[in-house]
Amino acid sequence: MPTVFLPKEMDRREMYLELLRMAKELREKYDIRFSRNAEDEVEALYGIMKALYELTRAEMEAQKPAKKKRSKRKKKKPGVERTLLFVKPDGVRRGLIGEVISRIEKAGLKIIGLKMVWLDEEWAKKHYPDEMAVKIGEKAKKAFLERGQEFPWKEEEYGKAILEALRRYVTSAPIVAMVIEGPRAIGKVRAIVGDTAPSRAAPGTIRGDFACDDYELANLQTRSIYNVVHASDSEGAEREIKELFSEDELYPEYTTLYEEMLGEF
């Protein structure tokens, strides 16, 4: 990049002659036409410097190397799965994003997509549709009866209340979503995160180590359970990935050192 030196001391006559010399060089090199409408030498100098800037920028843009195309996407091999994991609003607000990512990477799994997003009501209704209400109510009623407790709600009404709580919860703050790839990744990730009720999750799992909430307490407070992360099951993994990531946001083509040790996934 050339350096422009401005004169420390130069009378108006010398400056004028210097401007003429610069103008002549520009005209000869770039076929520039100059008008004589400048009010004084300073304005003329500004015009010349601006022309130099535009020409230099154009030349540098032309010299930039062409943007590299992404390499051809690798296809998943047999036995290799993809799953969705996201740090829920409570995990984000508690600063557990790095901890969750670290657990996944230390297990040898490969993160091929990662982003923070604030989910909206439309996404929440799609992810937690009204059709889930009856199933949620029936499951809750069964759990109550197994504990010898009376279930004081109608199944569908209870399910709708839980769905509303889930939607409020998942849209209350950003989430950090990631797509994970690896051998039997779906089951592996669910084992790493632990039981959906943190009070029952085993020590060493994400929920067991970083939360102690319980469904009974959440029900009494009419809210969603705070369990730090969401991990897809085998039925929902592919669909849930597509809900949050486009194919262009996934990068399976790079190779981790652990992949190389296993002969690549």
Q: Provide the H-helix boundaries in the chain.
A: 12-30, 41-63, 89-93, 97-106, 121-127, 132-146, 155-170, 185-193, 206-210, 215-220, 237-244, 257-261
Per-residue pLDDT at 21: 77
Q: How large is the angle between the packed helices 97-106 and 185-193, nearest 10 degrees?
A: 130
User: Residues of the chain whose pLDDT is less than 50?
Assistant: none
Per-residue pLDDT at 216: 85
Per-residue pLDDT at 238: 95
Structure tokens at 111: 């993160």
Per-residue pLDDT at 24: 73
Q: How large is the angle between the packed helices 132-146 and 155-170, nearest 10 degrees?
A: 110
Q: Is the pTM of this model over 0.75?
A: no
CA-CA-CA-CA dihedral for 156, 159, 163, 164, to nearest 10: 70
Per-residue pLDDT at 9: 59
Per-residue pLDDT at 257: 93
Q: Which of 88, 110, 188, 230 is catalytic?
A: 230
Where does residue 24 rank: exposed (0-12), middle (13-18), buried (19+ CB within 10 A)?
exposed
208-251 pLDDT, tens per residue? 999 999 988 987 787 899 999 999 999 999 999 999 999 999 99
Pair 177, 86: CB distance under 8 Å: yes
Catalytic (active site) residue 127: no
Per-residue pLDDT at 70: 62
Q: What are residue 123's DSSP bridge partners?
A: none
Rounded distance between C-alpha atoms, residue 48 and residue 57, angstroms: 14
Per-residue pLDDT at 210: 98
Rounded distance between C-alpha atoms, residue 192 and residue 184, angstroms: 12
Q: What are residue 84's DSSP bridge partners?
A: 179
Domains delineated in the chain: 12-63 (no CATH), 80-118+173-261 (3.30.70.141)
Structure tokens at 99: 């901890």
